[in-house]
Amino acid sequence: MTIAGFGALTLVVCVAAPLVGATAIHLSRVFDRTIPFADNVDAQVFFVARLPRVLAAILVGSSLAVAGVVFQAFLRNPLASPDTLGLSTGATLGAVIVITFHIDTAVLGISAVPIASFLGAAIALGIVYAMSIARRHGTSTTVLLLAGVALSAFFGALNRLIQVLGDFTDTFRSIRWMMGSLDVGSYTDVVVSFVPIAAALVAVATLPRVLDLVSLGAAAAESRGVDVRRAERLALVSASVLTGSAVSLGGPIPFVGIIVPHIVRLIVGADHRLVLPAAALFGGTFLVLCDLLARTVFGAGGMPVGAVTALLGGPFFLWLLFRRFR
């Protein structure tokens, strides 16, 4: 499957997804300008409920998948994911603090929860960045990985501690947030997240050759003229911005960042000139499909999209593996 194939799939899914849902809507009514918007339920379902949700799914899915590719290549570890360096846990900590201590007032129409979540990821990024700078030339990526695991565990412990301090209703809200949700209900959050995500994707777009070489080892990359430390910082910062933006927009949605890169590699091979755009397209498409299932198949109450990603993606990944290696 080529990039064009992934692009076509993304296009079809993204056009179809807003048209499908638990409520039947008529396209003719959606775009009927003779009906005032305030009275047009079909238009509101389409433009207020579904379209921002699909856009959020594309942004979050693409960001997590691309961040996963970058982390796996730079850390030379197939188990690396956007959470490996503690970024998702940092973002979750920010959200939990705001929810538990009731400081979730809206700022310019944006809830303080995603803002705090992004700040939490930024703090985690700051620590990781400082570690990457302090890292001496030739030091194993194992050091960075271990530091990330420790940071993740530390933030996780803080999360639990803060939840214990809060009211039971706050704990309930925190847990709900941690399940992930793409029902953003407005375009403001989507637009605010789009800016850093777009900037980070542009930065990552300069990295395919470097990622190919670094995947073989730092020494091999340096022998080919790659400034590994500079490239590493750019990659870490870009992938971290992608992770922080994605988690602040949709919550800590599991699975996409670790498995989508592997699915894509099974299909297009290991060349990062193909893997990166394919992961961006397939990550977004995959999350749009998961969210479509979450909001249609499981009744009016729906299901957390994070549960669907693993339910759907797990068997699909295993099927790909078996097909490849049988």
Partner 1 sequence: MAAVPQVPMRRRAAWLVVAAVAALASGWSAKALAERSSTADEYARLKPSRFEDAHRIISIIPATTEMLFAMGAGDRLVAVGSYDRFPAAVEQLPRVGALLDPNVERILSLRPDLVILYGTQSDLRTQLDRARVAYFPYVHRGLPDITATIRALGDRVGVAAAATGLADAIDKQLGDVRARVAGAARPKTLLVFGRETGTLRNIEASGGVGFLHDMLEAAGGVDVLADLKQQSVTLSTEVVLARAPEVIIELRYARGDTTAASDLRAWNALASVPAVKNRRVLLLQGEEFVVPGPRVGAATERMARALHPERFK
Number of residues forming the site for partner 1 (CB under 8 A):
45
CA distances from 321 to 6, 180, 257, 259, 289 (A): 19, 27, 17, 12, 21
Contact 244, 91 (CB under 8 A): yes
CA distances from 61 to 82, 109, 146, 159, 181 (A): 12, 24, 26, 24, 12
If one asks whether residue 225 binds partner 1 (CB under 8 A), the answer comes out as no
Q: Tell me the C-alpha distance between 275 and 287, whole Å.
A: 17
Could you tell me the smallest distance in angstroms from the CB atom of residue 289 to partner 1? 15
Exactly one of 167, 219, 269, 314 binds partner 1 (CB under 8 A); which one?
Answer: 167
Q: Tell me the C-alpha distance between 29 and 120, whole Å.
A: 43
Could you tell me the smallest distance in angstroms from the CB atom of residue 158 to partner 1? 15
Could you tell me the smallest distance in angstroms from the CB atom of residue 253 to partner 1? 14
Residue type, 247: V
Contact 309, 283 (CB under 8 A): no
Could you tell me the smallest distance in angstroms from the CB atom of residue 102 to partner 1? 5
Could you tell me the smallest distance in angstroms from the CB atom of residue 108 to partner 1? 9
If one asks whether residue 177 binds partner 1 (CB under 8 A), the answer comes out as yes
Contact 65, 261 (CB under 8 A): yes
Chain residues 259-318 in contact with partner 1, contact rule CB under 8 A: 295, 299-302, 304
Q: Which stretch binds partner 1 (CB under 8 A): 97-105, 147-155, 214-222, 279-287?
A: 97-105
Residues that bind partner 1 (CB under 8 A): 21-23, 37-41, 44-45, 48-50, 53, 102, 104-107, 109-113, 164, 167-169, 171-173, 176-177, 181, 183-186, 189, 295, 299-302, 304
